[in-house]
Structure 1
Amino acid sequence: MNKHKQFIILLAAVALVATGCSKGSTAPSTATSAAPAASPTPNVSKVPAKEGAAAFLKTIDGVKGQLDQKQVSEPKKVSSSLVSEWASFEDEVKLKYPELYVKVEKFLTPLEAGLTQDKLDFALLGQLNDGLKGALAELSTSLIENKGAVNEAAIAGSQALQEAAKAYNKYVQEQGNQMVSLLEQLNAAVKSGDLKKAQEAYVAARMPYERIEPVIEKFKELDGVMDARVDDFKDEKDPEFTGFHRIENLLFVQKSTKDAEPFAARLLEDGKKMQQSIAATNIEAADFVTGVGELMEEAQTTKITGEEERWSGATVPVIRANVEGAQKIYDLVKEELKKKDAVLDEKISKSLSSVIEAMNSLSPVGATWNDFGKVEKAKQVDLKNKLEALAEPLVKMPGTLGQ
């Protein structure tokens, strides 16, 4: 794990404990979370969320016993097993209980990361484990009692949200078209041999893709090919490693436009397939209002570490595109949201403005960007906290709109 990620992870864990994580507690919006050391969600056998949550609670009790004894057997394997067990049912939780999903993640991600450290902080890990147990207990109760899930039927039955869905489908199609156009420019720039032009074209092509990330699960197979991280492969030279980030490595590390040519051509073809898939897919209101809060949580956990744009340093432009996509969703539903919870609406609006202002102070809008890894740590943390403050009300939006 690189030092930058360690900094974010340790900061996150300390912040959570400082706010008093205990059984049944959750972190307030000022607390920070952290990216796990593991790679993105692994391929695991799926189980129903009710069964998964009950089993996970037992696992966490077992981890607590080890932490209390200050003797964790193979802690890195324990961390990996936590990743896998959560992955077996997290997708269902993410869709039906987005707010509880984020509560679990607040404690789970720094716990997973903390278990991979060379020297374990048992007091810190114990408190994170207790906080996780409280969040899981709340989730398990909700699943058993079948209460608190997002009311998809109410969202689907709202005339205002049906109109919002029509507009959002059009927006996603526009972004898909723009993505293909920019991928064509990237392909041409790579073929030209102009490295700087190719690097700028790479970042530009990322933007429309990142704006539609709240619904990228609709195109999971293509997403897995186009946006995979090197963590999922043997190394950066693995022939199976393709897409944006293979090109990123070749342009920013290897500095080779020639080697990037076949990957740029492949990415363009996959982009055209996604464009076609977007045109053939109907995105429901519940899909995008549920996905937007979780995306902002991901932005302030994994993306803020520089994990996604580790070679280009274009973390701020990518997060800016995520925020632009989130703002589009908010703009489409805000009148309906305001009717149901004016306070929540105002909180989202203010948090959006705060995040945008912070991003613009860190990196220019346009074809150039400042390497996020070179931004002073205090400013990185400030952006992370502002993203968390935005994620917190956004995950409440689906439940509110479904009232």
Structure 2
Amino acid sequence: MMMNTHARGGAATVAATAALLLAGCTDNTQSSASDGAVQVSSTADACTLSSTSAPGGTLKFAVRNEGTEVTEFYLLAEDGLRIVGEVENIGPGLSRDLVVMVPEGKYFTACKPGMVGDGIRAAFTVDAAPKGQEVSAGRAALQQTAVTQYAAYVKDQTEQLLAGTKEFAKAFAAGDEDTARGLYAPVRMHWERIEPVAESFGDLDPVLDAREADLEEGQQWTGWHRAEKDLWQPASGYQALTAAQRQQLADKLVADTEELQQRTQDLTFTPDKLANGAKELLDEVATGKVTGEEETFSHTDLWDFQANVDGARIAYEDLKPLLAGSGTELDASLAKNFAALQQLLDQHRKGEGFVYYDELTEAQVKELSSAVDALSEPLSRLTAAVVR
């Protein structure tokens, strides 16, 4: 989960920014003012940009953490809720780039030292895009095919998520714990496959997917992980939900998922959003799933792990035709590393699912982590290869 988005809520999303989804980052690259990047310095009490405006089109923010805590950087839509692009987990002294394709409009930038709170925000303006950024008709057609295919994938996953959520909620509210436990991980895979899309809705993500560790003072805990804790209750010190509380939680879970499904129906995408979203999904694996922090009570992290990899692979495969020619080497590296990671995951299958994460040895976790890192490097180069 990104930006501690589980702590945010607010007004409805501005429709004009609906296309600005799935933006992401490239890893630890060195940028300078000469390459047109907006330089960002993040410290404990400041988020300093070299410019408060930039021309539309392909926009790069070169973010350097000059503070003492891990930080994150965001480009937010005018409503302050929709995440246009994000780069997270930037350690002290490190730099990472955020690359997005952004149309003319008003936005906000935000640094989040310590990765908590709403961040240090400032207004940012994107002017009209310069001329000459057009692509050939043939390449434009390939790009359009890729985003059309991905939009259909998102639509299918949200429909399956809603259907599964209703089935899960019915069992959970009725106290049919065995059925609810059996549905929990498989249904959540539909969410995890499109997680960057789901997380872009700053008011829905916190109510659907907040972990207990992410809650801020006074924040009501709802959603999947609240149900998870009640189904896999801690050995001591936990007060189980009443039947009425379960029903209330189940009803809200369904209603919020219906809202998510409705909002995703008319979304549009661009090639850079697909590529960056794929990288964001691998970041999710590296920062949550491979550490075992996502599913604290159920230990079903490998289901989430697989779903994040699925989503990243689908985005890559939709974009694959754009790698013909100059991107052939990158294509081969991505195919090889996706296959290697999948082979490792398959070793931990059990029946129709996986072993629980707390059953893995330290060596097995390290092996999975290394495979994620190996895939993450070429995936960080995908955006530049598909937006030219």
> What is the match of residue 166 of structure 1?
148
Aligned 8 A contact 2:204 2:260 in 1:
yes
Q: Distance in 2 between matches of 1:383 and 1:152?
A: 40
Aligned 8 A contact 1:155 1:286 in 2:
no
> What is the match of residue 245 of structure 1?
225
Match of 1:355 among 332, 341, 362: 341
Q: Distance in 2 between matches of 1:168 and 1:292?
A: 11
Change (3 A) 1:251 1:399: same
> What is the match of residue 379 of structure 1?
364
Residue by residue over 1:97-138, the C-alpha shift from the partner in whole angstroms, topping out at 9 and shown as x without a partner, is x8xx58xx4x61xx5xxxxxxxxxxxxxxxxx4xx2xx36x8
> What is the match of residue 331 of structure 1?
317
Aligned residue runs from structure 1 range 177-188, under 5 A: 177-188=159-170
Aligned 8 A contact 2:211 2:294 in 1:
yes
Aligned 8 A contact 1:191 1:257 in 2:
no
Q: Distance in 2 between matches of 1:56 and 1:174?
A: 35
Aligned 8 A contact 1:155 1:285 in 2:
no
Q: What stretches of structure 1 of length at least 5 have no aligned partner?
A: 1-24, 28-43, 64-77, 112-128, 140-150
How far residue 323 of structure 1 moved from its aligned partner, in angstroms, is 0.8
> What is the match of residue 221 of structure 1?
203
Per the alignment, in what secondary structure is the counterpart of residue 339 of structure 1? coil
TM-score calculated relative to the size of structure 1? 0.64
Aligned residue runs from structure 1 range 266-345, under 5 A: 266-345=252-331
- Which structure carries more strand by proportion? 2
Aligned residue runs from structure 1 range 85-96, under 5 A: 86-87=72-73, 89=74
Aligned 8 A contact 1:214 1:288 in 2:
no
Match of 2:251 among 265, 269, 274: 265
Aligned 8 A contact 2:198 2:260 in 1:
no
Match of 1:400 among 362, 379, 385: 385
Amino acid aligned to 2:305: I
Q: Distance in 2 between matches of 1:241 and 1:195?
A: 20
Aligned 8 A contact 1:190 1:257 in 2:
no
How far residue 365 of structure 1 moved from its aligned partner, in angstroms, is 6.0
Aligned 8 A contact 1:155 1:402 in 2:
no
Over 4 Å off, 4+ runs? 44-51, 53-57, 89-92, 151-157, 254-257
Change (3 A) 1:181 1:341: same
CA RMSD of aligned residues (A): 3.6
Change (3 A) 1:91 1:296: farther
Residue by residue over 1:61-89, the C-alpha shift from the partner in whole angstroms, topping out at 9 and shown as x without a partner, is xx6xxxxxxxxxxxxxx43xx43xx44x5
TM-score calculated relative to the size of structure 2? 0.67
Change (3 A) 1:48 1:155: farther
How far residue 176 of structure 1 moved from its aligned partner, in angstroms, is 0.7
Q: Distance in 1 between matches of 2:62 and 2:268?
A: 35
Q: Distance in 2 between matches of 1:348 and 1:55?
A: 25
> What is the match of residue 157 of structure 2?
175
Q: Distance in 1 between matches of 2:322 and 2:358?
A: 39
Residue by residue over 1:237-271, the C-alpha shift from the partner in whole angstroms, topping out at 9 and shown as x without a partner, is x7711111111111112676834332122111100
Aligned 8 A contact 2:84 2:200 in 1:
no
Amino acid aligned to 1:277: R
Matched-pair identity in %: 25
Q: Distance in 2 between matches of 1:152 and 1:372?
A: 47
Change (3 A) 1:269 1:26: closer
How far residue 308 of structure 1 moved from its aligned partner, in angstroms, is 1.1
Aligned 8 A contact 1:95 1:290 in 2:
no
Q: Distance in 1 between matches of 2:179 and 2:143?
A: 41
Amino acid aligned to 2:363: A
Q: What stretches of structure 2 of length at least 5 have no aligned partner?
A: 1-26, 30-44, 53-59, 78-82, 99-131
Q: Distance in 2 between matches of 1:91 and 1:385?
A: 32
Per the alignment, in what secondary structure is the counterpart of residue 274 of structure 2? helix
Q: Distance in 2 between matches of 1:256 and 1:305?
A: 28
How far residue 197 of structure 1 moved from its aligned partner, in angstroms, is 1.2
Per the alignment, in what secondary structure is the counterpart of residue 342 of structure 2? helix
How far residue 302 of structure 1 moved from its aligned partner, in angstroms, is 2.6
Q: Distance in 1 between matches of 2:135 and 2:150?
A: 18
Between 1:151-160 and 1:170-179, the stretch displaced more is 151-160
Aligned 8 A contact 1:195 1:257 in 2:
no
Change (3 A) 1:214 1:390: farther
Per the alignment, in what secondary structure is the counterpart of residue 173 of structure 2? helix
Q: Distance in 1 between matches of 2:134 and 2:246?
A: 46
Change (3 A) 1:227 1:47: farther
Amino acid aligned to 1:399: A
How far residue 374 of structure 1 moved from its aligned partner, in angstroms, is 2.4
How far residue 153 of structure 1 moved from its aligned partner, in angstroms, is 6.2
Aligned 8 A contact 1:252 1:311 in 2:
yes
Change (3 A) 1:243 1:276: same
Q: Distance in 2 between matches of 1:385 and 1:153?
A: 39
Q: Distance in 1 between matches of 2:279 and 2:351?
A: 23
Aligned 8 A contact 2:196 2:277 in 1:
yes
Per the alignment, in what secondary structure is the counterpart of residue 354 of structure 2? coil
Aligned 8 A contact 1:195 1:256 in 2:
no
